[in-house]
A and B are shown apart, each in its own frame.
Chain A
Amino acid sequence: MTIRKDEEYRLQQTLARLLQQGSIDRREFLTRSLVAGLGLAGVGTAAKNGIGSARAQDRPLTPTFYQWIEDLHPGIPKVNEKFPGLNYQIAPVEGFGIERFVAEAKKKESTWDVYVGQTPFVEMSAMKAADVIEPWDDYIPKEVIDDMIPSIREENTIDGKLYGWPFFLDVIGNSWHSGVTTKAGLKDEAPMTWDDHLANAKKIVESQAAPFGATFDSHGWRSLAPFTHSMSSNVYTSEGLFDFTSDAAVEALKLMKSIMGVSHPDILLEGASDGGVNGTPDEVAFAAERVGYFSKYFNAPLRMASNWDDPKQLRMGPLPKFANGEGSTVFWTTGCALFKYGKNKEKAAEYIKALTYDAQIWQDSIAGTSAAHPGQLPPYKSIYAGWEANKPDWMLDFVPLVRGQLDKAKAITNHIFGLQQFVIGKPIWETYLKGEEADPKAALKKVVDAVQAEIARGKQ
């Protein structure tokens, strides 16, 4: 009799554990309990361990990640091991596609509980408008919110609610090939102003240290916006759109044209993948060691330099600024969205906290692994403070530089046209860059008109 009681107890505990982990659902728990002859005793065991929260778990925690995130961050599976039963999945779409998520939300359901790959200015407004996601506020621990760098917290907030839990931080900065700059007789240090940057780039071309002096990614959110921020980040309309006709934007466009004078002729061409936004000509030029300076988010030069004969010749620093400019830049985070019709929301918060604070993921991201060197940075103040207090031997110099910029850096304001305004505008402002339009402000005014026309079309 005692043996049977022990067996019953062990079975009860096992079933309760499976239920807690989400490995079995409540229906299956009850069925198994009854089959095992436990009946209400089994239910009592589960209740003792908190059936209330378990009741919501019809399935194990099911996050969905973009493939590139796992590719760049091989430490993620190790965190997953700490969450037994986790149903880790790769997103059904590449790039910025959210169709499946929206289709499911329309039916008030979701295959997944949390989506890791959301970029606020690209898709967060659309996901909110489509009722796909809900704020994290009820689930995220307060100390985590307080630990976020304020500008990053602001980036992930709409109407005072946190719709994104930031994970990987990308900041637009400057990088250079020290082999090229040294050959051109330049000091191995970051140019602080755009004037210095241009002068150095010209010297590279004149000295024939490399065929091209400098390059940038011609997509507006990677060049026009950060270059504008380096003059002033106060360039958003009350509507939340980028103020293309601001003086800072005009100066940024003129700067782009100046850089083009010392750059490769294909700089304005669309990229070779992901609808033209990736595999861009600037990356090809930098990877081929044909250009000295490269302004883009840091994981681009890190990835491209891995193709060099000596990747250690890569140097990174802050984005230069205009004389009397603000010295800001653009950053964005790739973070996590909580599906409104998903489940396991408390568990999702627990999981994302574990992921975003995982020390190994950040070490791998900054120092690189044999698999990748993304150079993406954490969103929390405490992590930087810890590194500052006790500098790890793998730490790279660009990290404190970027952290310093973050106090001034600003994300592109969230708007349903947050990304698309730059896509619509690119061919129009390029009329100035190509010499088809003499006045930069006139070109940028046409961008405003085109964006407004597109917005108006949706309101008709």
Chain B
Amino acid sequence: MAETTLSDQMTARHAESFGARLTALRHGMTPWWFLLPAILFFAGYQAYPIFRVLWISFTDYQYLSSEPAKFVGLANYITAFNDPLMWASLWRAALFTIMFLPGTIILPLLLAILVDRVSNQRVATVYRVVLLIPAVIPSTLVFVLWKWMYNYQVGPINHLLVDIFGLFTLQNAPQWLGGTPLTLPAIAIMEVWWGLGYHTIFFLAGLAAIPRDLPEAARIDGASEWSIFWHITRPALAPIMMILVVLRFGTAMAVIDEYLIFGGFNRDSPTYTWTIFMYDQAFKLGLWRQGFAAAIGMIGAVGMMIVMIFLIRIFRPRG
């Protein structure tokens, strides 16, 4: 049997502690390996483009120009802030959001409560499917359908108003699309219809999570239906409401496809919002001033984030 020296023992102890440290490090690293795909995705797909656009917004980058982009500091931001079109276009987007958001919350909530009360499960399923039909129609079809519905001369809405009910003539019938004051409400109605089933399903999921005995007990205690809604249903749905308000605020402020299709690039059109302004500058005008367009985008995005913080504070579940 070989005798171990003090030095051997110390070496072995060191090796043990090194091994333990390595194991601990390996264990400590494990979660990071699982996180790596998400981190890579976030860095490459979200963080990089944001910082890239931020950088471009401080340059005079013009896509069609062969000249290299120069750093111009805050010049693009100053130009944008001094441009009345920037403020007008932000206001138009806000106006659309104001028209659209209530229809995204109140109507689906009302429908969800009604569908939730249908005791026959088969009938309830039919209602859910019918409500979801618009949500599964591709956007192209939705736009084609509503463009036809709203058409001034041959659309069914004006046909009803002019030819059937005689409320208007061919000379003064409502001009729904194409840059008139009615364009934003007309698009908002289409959007509310399109998302109705989808938003209703959100609320139905929330309603399903409320224990049935809670409203029943309240009813036995003599609470009115309004009290039940206000004190039980509304607080229970508050997290869903907050998510919907914040998400749909973001999408409503940043609408672009519908405006391009229903309004075009007419700067006086209510559909010429900051998103169209940005697109126009980045891909249409002159040598495509993407530095300036990036500044418009950053202003719009930061403005939206500020409002979102307020919305989260207002709609956050309390208690």
Contact = CB atoms under 8 A, between A and B. Distances in A.
A424 B63 CA distance: 20
A265 interface: yes
Contacts of A423: 265-266, 284
A13 B62 CA distance: 50
Interface in B135-155: 147, 151-154
B206 to A, nearest CB: 38
A241 B62 CA distance: 21
How big is chain B's contact interface, by range? 35 or more
Contacts of B75: 460
Contacts, number: 111
Interface string A90-115: 00000001010010000000000000
Contacts of B177: 269-270, 272
B153 A281 contact: yes
Interface in A280-333: 281, 284-285, 288, 290
A281 B178 CA distance: 9
A458 B287 CA distance: 7
Contact of B152 (A273, A277, A281, A457): A281
A435 B266 CA distance: 18
Given A264-B153, A276-B263, A460-B60, A271 B178 contact: yes
Nearest to B150: A272
How big is chain A's contact interface, by range? 35 or more
B269 interface: yes
A420 B286 contact: yes
B233 interface: no
A174 to B, nearest CB: 21
Q: B75, B153, B292: which has the most chain A beta carbons within 10 Å?
A: B153
B63 A211 contact: no
A454 B151 CA distance: 33
A160 interface: no
A288 B153 CA distance: 8
A52 interface: no
Given A102-B64, A264-B170, A427-B266, A420 B285 contact: yes
A253 B263 CA distance: 23
A272 B271 CA distance: 13
B215 interface: no
Contacts of B284: 420, 423
Interface in B67-124: 75, 79
Interface in B217-269: 260-269
Contacts of A102: 63-64
Nearest to A416: B286
A265 B261 CA distance: 20
Contacts of A126: 64, 287
Interface in A386-400: none
Interface in A168-189: none
A214 to B, nearest CB: 15
Nearest to B76: A460
Contacts of A266: 152-153, 175, 178
Contacts of A65: none
Nearest to A97: B283
B65 interface: yes
A273 B286 CA distance: 23
Contacts of A269: 152, 175, 177-180
A378 B19 CA distance: 83
B266 A270 contact: yes
Interface of B: 60, 62-66, 75, 79, 147, 151-154, 170-173, 175, 177-180, 260-269, 283-287, 289, 292
Given A130-B64, A424-B285, 11 more contacts: A126-B287, A130-B66, A211-B170, A264-B152, A270-B177, A275-B260, A276-B263, A277-B264, A284-B154, A420-B286, A427-B269
